């Protein structure tokens, strides 16, 4: 492995904090590397050693070997026997997989501006889950705990005066609640070869978004559902546990197969709100006709495009909103994306890799609206 390979698609800055222990400082870097290497422990450690040589991350009191021992002792990695039984190798544990999801969520949410409570609302008011910040007159049946005392007392002073102060029902003000709706989301991740072409790593940011979104929904909106699928020549569902190990392949972009599988998965969901988040960097170049593949990597093929547009229309008819996040800025793709989005009445974003996560999270919150 060449150190120049490490620089491709990964920005490294030497940790500045002195408050962390040597293990904590290395562990922060390790989490980035293990995601970047799709869970390949030996490769991640090789990269860590190269970084250590250039930036002096360790000293004689705490070495990379000490760090590996601590990873084992703390249960972050475990020794595994290779499938052929030839030798032992190291792999990350379920504990580390969970930490990687939390790490991705923290990274992405660190870039988001807090918008206060009620960020996941419907347009309907009543006995809901989140306070909206909007005030209204008290009505019979409103929860007593929603009464805003300061505003209610102020009204009583205005209406009755200070000398003859008394508070009545007409003085009471409550803060409205919003109903939170349940949402079923399919996250489609492009794993075609173009996701790592031209020296740009596009798959790692996509993986981080998927891990963060999974952790976000599990911890904050447990009644929502998130399913993940990947699409190249074909499409297949993957579990959250598989995300750290996700790799691209020598594949074309079969958007048709991805949409068909997403629709099939959403058909089984009972939630009213259904949506697809599609992360891709290229045009559809492939679809299956019977048992054979029809492929065209050059230009925008009318046969493939028409099938893709047709699925966008079917999704709209079934109330499935498609949100496309195009992590490429090729001008000739814009016409396709704009028409695809117009047919579905969805959303389209031309996102750079740094802003991909924040854009998806903002769109998730914005779309979580109950439809009647």
- Report pTM: 0.72
Range of the domain at 171: 125-178
Higher pLDDT, residue 107 or 70: 70
Tell me, yes or no, whether 224 and 281 share the same domain. Answer: yes
For residues 167 and 225, membership in a common domain is answered with: no
Q: Please give the pLDDT value at position 305.
A: 94
pLDDT for position 85 = 65
- The residue among 92, 109, 142 that closes a domain is 92
120 pLDDT higher than 60? no
Positive or negative torsion for Cα 230, 92, 99, 11: negative
Query: What CATH number is associated with residue 224?
Result: 3.40.50.410
The pLDDT value given to residue 280: 86
Decide if 321 contacts 343 (C-beta within 8 A).
no
Quickly state the pLDDT bin for 2 (edges 50, 70, 90): very low
| Domain-located, residue 116 | no
Give the span between the Cα atoms of 174 and 193, in whole angstroms: 55
Distance, CA of 261 to CA of 277 (rounded, Å): 13
Spatial distance between the Cα atoms of 127 and 143, rounded to a whole number of angstroms: 7
For residues 342 and 262, give the distance between their C-alpha atoms in angstroms, rounded to a whole number.
19
Residue 155 has pLDDT above 90, yes or no: no
153 and 205 share one domain: no
On whether both 197 and 305 belong to a single domain, the answer is yes
Q: Indicate whether 120 belongs to any domain.
A: no
Both 323 and 261 in a single domain? yes
Q: Which residue has the higher pLDDT, 328 or 312?
A: 312
Does one domain contain both 155 and 191? Answer: no
**Structural domain total, the chain:** 3
pLDDT of residue 122: 37
CA dist 73 to 64, 67, 68, 77, 102, Å?
Answer: 14, 10, 9, 8, 21
The residue that leads in pLDDT, 342 or 168, is 342
208 neighbors 216 (Cβ within 8 angstroms): no
Q: Do residues 186 and 227 make contact, with C-beta atoms less than 8 angstroms apart?
A: yes
Asked if residue 121 has pLDDT above 60, the reply is no
Distance between CA atoms of 320 and 81, rounded to whole angstroms?
45
Residue 246 and residue 347 share a domain: yes
Residue 228 in this model has a pLDDT that exceeds 70: yes
Question: Is 246 found in the same domain as 167?
Answer: no
pLDDT of residue 62: 96
Query: Do 155 and 40 have their domain in common?
Result: no
Long-range interactions of 58-67: CB distance < 8 A, separation 24+: 58/22, 58/26, 61/22, 62/22, 62/23, 64/26, 66/22, 67/22, 67/23, 67/26, 67/27, 67/30
Most confident residue range from 18-27, 65-74, 97-106, 178-187: 65-74
CATH number at residue 88: 1.10.10
Percent of all residues in the chain with a pLDDT value above 90, rounded to a whole number: 44
295-323 confidence digits (pLDDT tens): 998 878 999 999 999 999 999 999 999 98
- Does residue 184 carry a pLDDT above 70? yes
Provide the pLDDT confidence category of residue 291 given band limits of 50, 70 and 90. Answer: very high
pLDDT of residue 212: 87
- Higher confidence at residue 75 or residue 272? 75
Binning pLDDT at 50, 70 and 90, where does residue 83 land?
A: low
CA distance 228 to 240: 7
**What burial class does residue 140 get, using C-beta atoms within 10 Å of its C-beta: 0-12 exposed, 13-18 middle, 19+ buried?**
exposed
If asked whether residues 211 and 359 sit together in one domain, one would say yes
Whether pLDDT at 241 is above 50: yes
Q: Which of 310, 162, 190, 316 shows the shortest CA–CA distance to 248?
A: 190
- Please state the three-class secondary structure of 231-260 as a single string: ECCCEEEECHHHHHHCCCCCCCCCHHHHHH
How many angstroms separate the first and last alpha carbons of the chain? 57
Q: Are 130 and 177 in contact (CB under 8 A)?
A: yes
Most confident listed range (139-153, 227-241, 349-363): 227-241
Residue 157: its pLDDT value, please?
A: 79
Residues 222 and 295 in one domain: yes
Same domain, 166 and 239: no
């Amino acid at each position: 492995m060449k150190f120049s390979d490490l620089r491709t698609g990964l920005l490294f800055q030497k940790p500045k904090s002195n408050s962390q222990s040597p293990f904590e400082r290395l562990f922060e870097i390790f989490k980035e590397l293990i995601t970047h290497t799709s869970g390949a422990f030996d490769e991640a450690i090789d990269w860590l050693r190269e970084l250590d040589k250039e930036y002096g991350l360790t000293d004689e009191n705490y070495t990379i070997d000490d760090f590996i021992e601590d990873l084992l002792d703390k249960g972050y990695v475990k020794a595994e026997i290779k499938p052929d039984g030839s030798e032992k190798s190291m792999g990350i544990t379920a504990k580390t997989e969970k930490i990687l999801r939390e790490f991705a969520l923290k990274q992405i949410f660190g870039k988001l501006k807090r918008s206060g409570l009620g960020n996941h609302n419907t347009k309907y008011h009543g006995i809901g889950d989140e306070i909206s910040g909007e005030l209204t007159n008290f009505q019979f049946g409103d929860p007593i705990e929603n009464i805003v005392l300061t505003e209610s007392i102020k009204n009583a002073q205005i209406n009755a005066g200070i000398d003859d102060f008394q508070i009545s029902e007409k003085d009471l003000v409550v803060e409205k609640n919003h109903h939170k709706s349940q949402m079923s989301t399919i996250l489609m991740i492009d794993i075609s070869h173009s996701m790592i072409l031209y020296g740009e790593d596009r798959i790692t940011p996509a993986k981080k978004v998927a891990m963060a979104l999974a952790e976000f929904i599990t911890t904050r909106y447990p009644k929502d559902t998130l399913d993940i699928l990947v699409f190249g020549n074909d499409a297949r569902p993957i579990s959250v546990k598989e995300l750290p190990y996700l790799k691209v392949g020598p594949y074309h972009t079969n958007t048709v197969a991805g949409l068909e599988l997403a629709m099939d998965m959403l058909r089984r969901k009972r939630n009213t709100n259904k949506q697809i988040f599609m992360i891709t960097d290229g045009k559809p170049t492939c679809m299956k006709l019977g048992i054979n593949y029809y492929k065209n990597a050059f230009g925008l093929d009318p046969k493939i495009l028409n099938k893709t547009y047709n699925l966008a229309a079917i999704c709209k008819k079934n109330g499935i909103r498609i949100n496309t996040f195009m992590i490429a800025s090729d001008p000739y793709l814009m016409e396709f994306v704009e028409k695809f989005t117009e047919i579905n009445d969805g959303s389209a974003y031309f996102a750079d890799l740094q802003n991909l996560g924040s854009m998806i999270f903002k769109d998730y919150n914005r779309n979580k609206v109950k439809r009647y």
